[in-house]
Amino acid sequence: MAYLQCRFFSEVLGITTSMSVILPEPGFSQTGRAETAQTVLYPVLYLLHGMSDDDSTWVRRTSIERYASSMGLIVVMPQAGLSFYTDMAEGPRYWTFISEELPQVCRSFFPISNRREDTFAAGLSMGGYGAFKLAMRKPDQFCAAASLSGALNVARNFFEEGAGEAQAVALFRRIFGPDGPKGTHNDLLALLEELEYREEPMPHLYQCCGTEDFLHPDNLLFRDACLAAGLPLTYEESPGSHDWAYWDAKIQDVLTWLPLKNKG
């Protein structure tokens, strides 16, 4: 495996940004066969950070590099600030960056497959929301997505008056605008209803949350809505809080769950 930190200029954001990337051994395929670098296009996992983190956090706080070492998988961890992976009402267009520009940039830098069945997203907390939004808004591009302790009901938890401190409410108004995300493409529960009537293949979703996590009630709400909509969902819960001990354990389950071809 190789671990890289890359800085590049984003035309969408209008700034120089960064991403951390884990690459397989050159010329080593998922099947364990040595192949020429030109013949191998690897599956990719876009692994998204949480609200107080950055692109390096997954590598610093978990053993993701070791866990992915034998999987023949490229892991891309982009920087997205406090954006909720959204084209912000008062700020940069992080949704457009994550969903359109970033995959193009990564394929120009690294040998990444552009096939839907080789494209995955995952994330924790804010990143869990972002991963599910990628899969649900781009089901033709993402085969599967995983949310670890995801903030899956932003319309209630982080926007309505009384749901949090005034500073937090002000932040989410800057992200989603004065009317909030409810009923828009930034509302995962609204996206669930849309997916029922779309012709694209439905993405496979993996959702987990600790039972002591403050986001556990909203994860239960999303689970029930997802099952009612008929989306293929794997749901797991166990004792755990909103912390790195839980996420370090569960990212291993996510990697095992990913529908990688020739796995094992």
Side chain identity at residue 30, one-letter code: Q
Residue 173, Cβ density class (10 Å: 0-12 exposed, 13-18 middle, ≥19 buried): middle
Helix, strand, coil in percent for the chain, rounding step 5: 35, 20, 40
Q: How many domains does one find in the chain?
A: 1
Residue 61 pLDDT level (bands cut at 50, 70, 90) = very high
For residue 12, is it within any domain?
Answer: yes
User: What CATH number does the domain containing 37 carry?
Assistant: 3.40.50.1820
The pLDDT value given to residue 169 = 79
- Provide the domain limits for residue 40: 2-153+205-253
Q: Is the pLDDT of residue 165 over 80?
A: no
For residue 84, is it within any domain?
Answer: yes
The pLDDT value given to residue 171 = 86
Which residue do the tokens 């930034």 mark? 186
For residue 86, is it within any domain?
Answer: yes
Q: Is the pLDDT of residue 198 over 80?
A: no
Which residue do the tokens 């998204």 mark? 48
Strand 15-23 and strand 2-10: pairing? antiparallel
Residue 215, Cβ density class (10 Å: 0-12 exposed, 13-18 middle, ≥19 buried): buried
For residue 161, is it within any domain?
Answer: no
pTM: 0.93
